[in-house]
Amino acid sequence: MDQSLYDKVGGAEAIEKVVNYFYHELVLKDETVNQFFEETDMDKQIRHQAKFISFALGGPNQYSGKSMAKAHEGMNLQPEHFNAIVNHLHDALAHFGVSEADIDTALTKVATLRDDILNK
């Protein structure tokens, strides 16, 4: 049986580290996208995002939030915002030693959400 990407990256503990790094070291320091988080409870956002990424990587189905379209409604997100977030996710996963092949698999899953996130 193939190991899920969730297990390959180290499960919940590893994903929590990736998500913390993703936000604190990359997203919140990027003027391209940090304005979208000015009024955000970042502790809640990090918990929520860790659950979402865990689910997206084949882990336990813990994500019970809004649809991607609903969660990003009215934000006027543009392709450059989506691309910046994807690049930061790539860099966060790479920072923690995830292989390029596994990063590509994860980002391919994220790419399927692009139109919903951009409300296209």
How is residue 23 written in tokens? 């936000």
In the predicted model, is pLDDT for residue 1 greater than 60?
Answer: no
pLDDT band with cut points at 50, 70 and 90 for residue 9: confident
Domain residue limits at 103: 5-117
The candidate with the shortest Cα–Cα distance to 85, out of 28, 42, 45, 20, is 28
How confident is the model over 105-118, as a mean pLDDT? 90
The candidate with the shortest Cα–Cα distance to 5, out of 60, 67, 73, 75, is 60
**Domain tally, the chain:** 1
Model confidence over 17-76: pLDDT tens digits? Answer: 999 999 999 999 999 999 999 999 999 999 988 988 887 788 886 666 678 788 888 888
Model confidence over 75-102: pLDDT tens digits? Answer: 889 999 999 999 999 999 999 999 999 9
Give me the DSSP letters along 27-52.
GGG-TTTGGGGTT--HHHHHHHHHHH
Give me the DSSP letters along 85-98.
HHHHHHHHHHHTT-
| pLDDT computed for residue 119 by the predictor | 80
79-95 and 100-111 are packed helices; what angle lies between their axes, rounded to 10 degrees?
150
How confident is the model over 6-14, as a mean pLDDT? 91
Matching residue, tokens 């990063």: 103
| pLDDT computed for residue 4 by the predictor | 86
The CATH number linked to 113 is 1.10.490.10
The candidate with the shortest Cα–Cα distance to 8, out of 100, 115, 117, 113, is 100
